Amino acid sequence: MNKIKIQTESDISWQQHLSKAITTIPDLLDYVGLPRDLSIACEEATTPFKLMAPRPYLDRIKKGNATDPLLLQILPAQSEQIKVEGYHKDPLEEANHTPQKALVHKYKRRLLVITTGSCAINCRYCFRRHFPYGENQLAQDEWLSVLDYIKQHPEINEVILSGGDPLIMKDKLLAKRVEALDALPQLKRLRIHSRLPVVIPQRVTEEMLTWIRQTRLDVIMVFHMNHANEIDNAVSLAAQKLKQAGVHLLNQGVLLRNVNDTASAQVNLSETLFKHGILPYYMFLFDPVEGAAHFDVSIEKAQKLMGEVAAELPGYLVPRLAKEIPGKKAKTLFVPILT
C-alpha cells in the first residue's frame, strides 16, 4: 500500500510560494482573519499598484489584527488615493540619473542596476511604485551594455543589483551575470538589495549559495526589514546560510508611521537583527512618493525617536538615520536628538 506524502512548508519551493502569493483584497482579508467589508476601502488603491503578498510573510501577521505592523505595510489603503502636495511619482529624481536603460548612477563609485520590475511582495510605501519598469527591462543581449558602461567609468568599483527584486531572477541567469561582473578587475563589491529572503526564506537555495561562493567579489546582502516580527525561524536560517557562504548581511529599513515609529519597535528590531547575524545599517526617512503620504514621519520626530533608541542601545546597533535628497553627492545623515 502506497503511503501518501504530506507536503510540508520546507518542501515547497520559493517559486511555488511566489506563484501562490495572494493578489486580491478578499483573499488577503480572509487569510489574516479580517472582515471582507474592509475591501471596499482598499480596492481602489490596487488599480495603479497591485496587491502582492506571499503566504510565508502573511503567516507572521497576527490573525484578526487590523493594525498589525506587517499587515499595514502591504494592505492597500483608501488614503493612497489622496493627492498630497510635495509627494511625487519620482521622489528621488532617479530619471535625472539614468544615463542609459536600467542604470541609475547617482553616486561616484557605485552603480545601481535595475534588474527586474518584479517583486515578491508589493510594499505600499515603495518609492519605486511608479517607476517605469517597462522602459527599463534588460533583455539578455542588453546586459553587455551594462558591462560596457562600467568599463567606460573606471571609478565604479561597486555594483548594486536592485529592482524590483533581483532575486526574482533565476539562479542560472544570476550566476552568468555575476560571472560577467566578476571578470571586470575594477569591481570590488557586489551588493544585492532584496526583500525575498525575508518574505520567502526558501529563496536561499543551494544553487544560489553556489554562485555566491564562486565569485571573487565581496558580496553584501542588504535586507529590507522594518519590524522585528518579520524575522522568524525560517528567515534566521536563511541568514545563517548566507553568512556561512561569506555574505555580509546588512539591513535597511524605512521609518513608517504606525508601523515602527516608536523607540520600543526600533530597539526590538535592532536587537533581533543582531541576534540573527544581521547588522542594522540605515533607517531611512520616508521618500515622499505619491500615494503613500500616510506613512510619513517628520524629521524632528525621527531625530527624537532615534535619540531614545541611542540611549537604549550600543552605537553599533543604532542604524544611521538617513535620507536621500535629490542632487546630493551622498546620503544626508541626521543626528539623533538626545533629550
Q: Is 51 helix (H, G, I), strand (E, B) or coil?
A: coil
Grid coordinates belonging to 212: 555566491
Check whether 266 has a pLDDT greater than 80.
yes
The DSSP symbol for 53 reads: B
pLDDT digits (tens, 9 = 90+) for 289-298: 998 999 999 9
C-alpha neighbours within 13 Å on the C-beta side of residue 231: 23
- In the structure, what pLDDT confidence band is assigned to residue 39 with cuts at 50, 70 and 90? confident
Predicted local confidence at residue 41, as pLDDT: 65
pLDDT above 90 coverage of the chain, percent: 74
Q: In angstroms, rounded to a whole number, what is the distance separating the alpha carbons of residues 157 and 274?
A: 28
- Strands of 168-295, DSSP E: 189-194, 218-224, 248-254, 279-284
Mean predicted confidence (pLDDT) in 37-62: 85
Predicted local confidence at residue 28, as pLDDT: 95
Q: What is the dihedral of CA 307, 308, 314, 318, to 10 degrees?
A: -60
- In the structure, what pLDDT confidence band is assigned to residue 8 with cuts at 50, 70 and 90? low
Grid coordinates belonging to 127: 518609492
- In the structure, what pLDDT confidence band is assigned to residue 317 with cuts at 50, 70 and 90? very high
Check whether 7 has a pLDDT greater than 60.
no
Predicted local confidence at residue 139, as pLDDT: 75
Question: Under a CB-based contact definition with an 8 Å cutoff, are residues 293 and 301 in contact?
Answer: no
Q: Report which secondary-structure segment, H or E, holds 111.
A: strand 110-114
For residue 57, the Cα-to-chain-centroid distance in whole angstroms is: 13
Mean predicted confidence (pLDDT) in 254-274: 98
Q: In angstroms, rounded to a whole number, what is the distance separating the alpha carbons of residues 160 and 179?
A: 15
Q: Is 290 helix (H, G, I), strand (E, B) or coil?
A: coil
- The domains found in the chain, sorted by start residue, are 12-81 (no CATH), 94-333 (3.20.20.70)
Check whether 16 has a pLDDT greater than 70.
yes
The DSSP symbol for 99 reads: S
Question: Under a CB-based contact definition with an 8 Å cutoff, are residues 270 and 281 in contact?
Answer: no
Predicted local confidence at residue 4, as pLDDT: 46
Tell me which long-range contacts 129-133 makes (C-beta under 8 A, separation of at least 24). Answer: 129/48, 129/49, 129/289, 129/291, 129/292, 130/48, 130/89, 130/90, 130/289, 130/290, 130/291, 131/90, 131/94, 133/164
Q: Is 269 helix (H, G, I), strand (E, B) or coil?
A: helix
The dihedrals phi and psi of 160, each to the nearest 5 degrees, come to: -110, 120
pLDDT digits (tens, 9 = 90+) for 148-174: 999 999 999 999 999 889 999 999 999
